[in-house]
């Protein structure tokens, strides 16, 4: 085996090893994110997702932003005496080794003042910021509410 092949082989082993470590490292994951399509002139849309926390400590989501919207808030729909209302959440906690679900009728991202019309098939970029300085960028597809996935 000549020297160049040895170096290449060593490099491959190293990259496999570091990928395996990265996959197991405790962290937060944003999953199944999507934005519900709204009528063309709508000034508010809603976004849904799951946040998975694979660490042994609760995670605190403190901010969500998107270049496609002038303002993004974290809301929770609450039903009181049969009347649903949306309550803004300053932050939201993801339990240690747990999942927080944003879904219709519960937690959601309230996406206000889109900078351009969004239709099914378009995508939205989000940045999720957690207490302690971790942030994650994700892309979410815009979908019709009744689409199967
Ligand atoms: Cu809302």
For the cut 80, the answer to whether the pLDDT of residue 3 exceeds it is: no
How many Å lie between the centroid of ligand 1 and the Cα of residue 43?
12
How many Å lie between the centroid of ligand 1 and the Cα of residue 106?
9
pLDDT at 145: 85
Cβ contacts of 74 within 8 Å, gap of 6 or more: 61, 64, 88, 89, 90, 91, 92, 107, 109, 110
Residue 110 in domain: yes
How many Å lie between the centroid of ligand 1 and the Cα of residue 60?
19
Q: What is the mean pLDDT of the chain?
A: 88
For residues 32-36, average pLDDT: 98
Two tokens at 111? 């996406």
How many Å lie between the centroid of ligand 1 and the Cα of residue 12?
47
Residue 22 in domain: no
pLDDT in tens, 85-132: 999 999 999 999 999 999 999 999 999 999 999 999 999 999 999 999
Residue 1 in domain: no
Q: Looking at residue 90, which CATH number applies to its domain?
A: 2.60.40.1890
For the cut 80, the answer to whether the pLDDT of residue 7 exceeds it is: no
Beta bridge partner(s), residue 28: 53
Residue 42 in domain: yes
Residue 63 in domain: yes
How many Å lie between the centroid of ligand 1 and the Cα of residue 109?
7
Q: Which residue range is the domain that position 56 belongs to?
A: 27-143
pLDDT at 40: 83
């Amino acid at each position: 085996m000549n020297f160049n092949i040895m170096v290449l082989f060593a490099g491959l082993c190293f990259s496999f090893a570091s990928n395996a470590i990265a996959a197991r490292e405790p962290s937060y994951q944003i999953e199944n994110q999507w934005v519900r399509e709204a009528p063309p002139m709508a000034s508010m849309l809603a976004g849904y997702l799951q946040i998975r926390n694979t660490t042994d400590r609760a995670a605190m989501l403190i901010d969500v932003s998107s270049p496609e919207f002038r303002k993004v808030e974290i809301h929770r729909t609450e039903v009181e005496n049969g009347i649903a209302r949306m309550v803004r959440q300053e932050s939201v906690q993801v339990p240690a080794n747990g999942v927080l679900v944003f879904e219709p009728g519960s937690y959601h991202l309230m996406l206000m003042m889109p900078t351009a019309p969004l239709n099914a098939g378009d995508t939205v970029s989000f940045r999720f910021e957690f207490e302690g300085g971790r942030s994650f960028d994700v892309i979410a597809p815009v979908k019709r509410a009744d689409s199967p996935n």
